[in-house]
Structure 1
């Protein structure tokens, strides 16, 4: 019997819709803060299992839980859950341990090609990090390529994938100063001759490293492709979207079923002003684009629907229908967006400092900083 399951193996099973139960053996507060979204998930702590073992009551404990086999036990690093899975197997339950636990889950990164866009011979790969809902993009035209919103944890992946398609990275682009993950801009540039590109407004945020800055209307060219920058203040003051053919890389401005929160740059005191700017960005810039525009967002959540090509993309007309906030008038929009904010991403202030170049952290520390839910959206 298979006793361990890789994080990628679990992801594939969940995507296929296989029947299974996620058994999270972390403490309740850890589980409620961040867990694997699955149709059937239960939480019972490692301590409860150890206590039941001492009392010889494992069968009674398992009978009280709503299991659908196989059971996949999960903890932070796969150690405590390995013991729990073994206890379950002793009482006849098909139980597997998630190798490397939630840390392993956070290292799952899946690439899919976006189909249906009108951008010539250009190839667009969308990268999904299921643990946080972060999306990044690799765009390839001929022998040239660029990456949008790269994650530091996967910097080598973009370089390798471009080379598999006989291309080299010319640009590493961030749409804004991220607060939810550590940027891979400089890591990609260190591994290639890629030019680091950021919105001009990042300088006003206190950026402390060299970059090429773009402003509204600027164009970036690779191969036969031309991408146009669109200034889109709201989620942050410097936010820059990019349009390639009929595809809009909408970053944290417009998701497929929500919009970006406005308080991660200047706190709740600046949220109202940025929410008002976000309303203008959406209604005076983004929503004026053709209905057939393909929206390629910066984040998704567990209930976001996939497109026909299995990527997280949708036509603008569809996004209008699936995002009720877009139908509100300005006053209602600002009140709801600035007044009903979810918890902020974990360690967001430290992450912003790293992404501005004000703070330096080792690779493992950077990875640990961004563990947890994304929380960048308002729905």
Structure 2
């Protein structure tokens, strides 16, 4: 059939859709991708319903004039989604012509993956900006104290955003820090450093894991001065052997140790060890000590800002994805404070992030990839939390 003009197809932007999902609006997503793609990675939220209907069925239905019949049992309004926003525009147009309340997601799942949002919060040491990537739940941070700033766990796909936001707040970035060697996304530490005067900083143990490029090592207990404040490194091993959080006034950025409603998985680094089971158990035991001895013993009311969030997790009163020491105790009540119970709970198997071995190599500097390849490597579910 001849190509259709879809330039005026009803459209919703990734940002508007993300706002709807965040508010808890009822959202029906009609996903045209193959079932395995949808099952692996989809738009998710507590009030998001996903219906998978292959694009080929719509092509056939347009010939027979039965397009609306394919969504007869689907709640409206409908957001049509595909990989890059081309097939979805065509289908949304056809559905709208048939009287269905339908829009399509601009630029598809690729556009969804290129969205990052920000929320600003105040600490007693300065300003904290939390960035959220809705497609994966990756969280990164800009900390501003006076005329200097630090970026923590930056994503390579958004390096320009951090520098721009720092500049808008009258600050320049002096350090770009990773809390650990990430397995789910390509780090932006080196890209931020190249675009600013920032010094790249990684935990001291990253060198033992094979880090090949020059970065300032950060050991637990060490401090970094910037602006009129300082950061203090907090050792939080478990998800990885070198996991290191940073304390900024009355908050701690905890990386992938605990999340708002869960804990990190301890097996991704272990998957690369000769004895995976033994390495996983050892890291799980270290995670247990991190949670029970380090995080649970922080001053009550200390706010904890994680490196990821799960779909549908509730925001704190200040609009951020964060928890408290009291929240850690609630997690322990669920998982078990006993070492064996905790280890059993966090070592249950779940699929790893896609391409995680190659992403680790990129983040260690053992493989170089261009920006587009880096973006494609990290598409998909996060899977860094215990399932």
TM-score range, shorter chain: over 0.9
State the number of aligned residues.
373
Counterpart secondary structure, 1:377? coil
108, 112, 126: which one aligns with 1:101: 108
Q: Quick check: 1:66 aligned with 2:74? A: yes
Aligned twin of 1:145? 149
341, 350, 357: which one aligns with 2:349: 341
Distance 2:373 2:248 in 1: 35
Change (3 A) 1:20 1:284: closer
Q: Quick check: 1:273 aligned with 2:276? A: no
Distance 1:186 1:162 in 2: 17
Alignment of 1:116-195 (within 5 A): 117=123, 119-120=124-125, 122-195=126-199
> TM-score, with normalisation over the residues of structure 1?
0.95
Distance 1:109 1:62 in 2: 31
Offset at 1:206? 0.5
Change (3 A) 1:197 1:153: same
The C-alpha deviation readout for 1:334-378, integer Å capped at 9, x for no partner, is: 12212x121000100010000000000010110000000100001
Q: Quick check: 1:251 aligned with 2:255? A: yes
Offset at 1:233? 1.4
The C-alpha deviation readout for 1:66-124, integer Å capped at 9, x for no partner, is: 2222x210001001111111110121112111111000001110110124x4x24x100
10, 20, 27: which one aligns with 1:13: 20
Q: Quick check: 1:216 aligned with 2:220? A: yes
Offset at 1:14? 2.5
Aligned twin of 1:371? 379
Q: Which moved more, 1:35-44 or 1:230-239?
A: 35-44
Aligned twin of 1:291? 300
Distance 1:322 1:227 in 2: 26
Q: Quick check: 1:56 aligned with 2:61? A: no
Offset at 1:314? 2.2
Q: Which moved more, 1:91-100 or 1:312-321?
A: 312-321
67, 77, 84: which one aligns with 1:77: 84
Aligned twin of 2:3? none
Offset at 1:184? 0.2
Contact (CA 8 Å) 2:9, 2:89: kept in 1 or not?
A: no
Change (3 A) 1:310 1:323: farther
Aligned twin of 2:330? 321
Counterpart secondary structure, 1:137? strand
Contact (CA 8 Å) 2:9, 2:93: kept in 1 or not?
A: no
Contact (CA 8 Å) 1:258, 1:323: kept in 2 or not?
A: no
Contact (CA 8 Å) 1:24, 1:73: kept in 2 or not?
A: yes
> TM-score, with normalisation over the residues of structure 2?
0.93
Contact (CA 8 Å) 2:173, 2:196: kept in 1 or not?
A: yes
Aligned twin of 2:207? 203
Q: Quick check: 1:350 aligned with 2:355? A: no
Note the residue ranges of structure 1 that are not aligned, 5 or more in a row: none
Offset at 1:55? 3.2
25, 29, 32: which one aligns with 1:25: 32
Q: RMSD in angstroms over aligned alpha carbons?
A: 1.5
Offset at 1:323? 5.4
Distance 1:15 1:283 in 2: 31
Counterpart secondary structure, 2:184? coil
